[in-house]
A and B are shown apart, each in its own frame.
Chain A
Amino acid sequence: MTQKEHKLTAPEALALADRYFEARTSAAEERLLRAFLLSPEGADARFDEVRATLFFLQTGRRHHRPTSHRRIAWAAAACLAAVCFVGALSYRHFDTQNLCTATVAGKQLTAEQATDLMQHQMEDMFNPEKPTAP
């Protein structure tokens, strides 16, 4: 069906309605159909079904299209935040794995002293005849 006129006749509208339900109408044809349904000729009961469907979907699109974009954006932001959070936690976890402590008689030593002690203890273990007191 070609749109030679901007105003549809009832038979043209009926044919267009059938094509609408077959999902074969273009956006321009839907606009023509919508305009016809809003006219006095379109108040006919034969167009009740297409009117209910067309205007219901139009309302749904108006309400949901922005929301679905919003939802995707929020979901992406939440995923990114979760990834950053887990990454920060993992960094903290692995950072604390670099442990270096030493205590002598309950008194805490420095990391450098701890490393020195480790060295001396291992050397003394393998060289008992040559003790290396720190």
Chain B
Amino acid sequence: MRHIRLTLLTLLCVASVRLQAQVHIAPLFGEFSVLPNATEVRISGKKLKPYQLTNFHSIEVRQPQNEQMRHAESLVLSDARTAVAREEDRSNGRLHYGFYELPTDGRLHTYIFYRANAQKLTLIHIEGKASMEELKAYFKK
């Protein structure tokens, strides 16, 4: 009985581990969300079902400072090192945009989308069953 309780407790702890704990970009959401020129969006569950997604977390910074862009870029590239699929564009040694699929246990896809310029920095971290092609089909015009 004690072993069963311990197993159930362990499973509960594992199940409550949040998505952001697994990626280098996780602290960026907290750092940027307090800025007056930032927008943070967090959605999970029912609202994402039409897109075959389970978790959506984004942070958008308008007129980002250079230092903020460098900081975000370095963390994105840290996660990108282990990406199993990528699409990116760099100019003048800087990351203009990057779409990365991270390795997972095979049940759900995990993506990081990043785009930055002088007007706007957008970082999106999502998880779901949708493939990259399906996401593009939903959102690409």
Interface residue ranges, A against B (CB under 8 Å):
97-106, 111, 114-115, 117-119, 121-128, 130
Contacts and interface: CB of A to CB of B under 8 A. Distances in A.
B70 interface: no
A105 B59 CA distance: 11
Given A123-B141, A125-B122, A126-B136, A106 B36 contact: yes
Query: Which 5 pairs between the two chains have the least Cβ-Cβ distance?
Result: A98-B45, A126-B140, A122-B139, A99-B44, A102-B41
Contact of A121 (B46, B47, B60): B60
Interface string B36-48: 1111111111110
Given A121-B124, A125-B113, A128-B97, A101 B41 contact: yes
A101 B88 CA distance: 29
Contacts of A105: 35-39
A121 B38 CA distance: 13
Contacts of B33: 103, 106
Contacts of A100: 42-45, 47
B14 to A, nearest CB: 14
B95 to A, nearest CB: 14
B9 interface: no
Contacts of A114: 41-43, 47
9 contacts: A97-B44, A97-B45, A99-B43, A115-B43, A117-B39, A121-B58, A121-B124, A123-B140, A126-B135
A105 B43 CA distance: 18
B88 to A, nearest CB: 13
Contacts of A101: 41-43
A92 B60 CA distance: 31
B136 to A, nearest CB: 6
Contacts of B46: 98
B42 A99 contact: yes
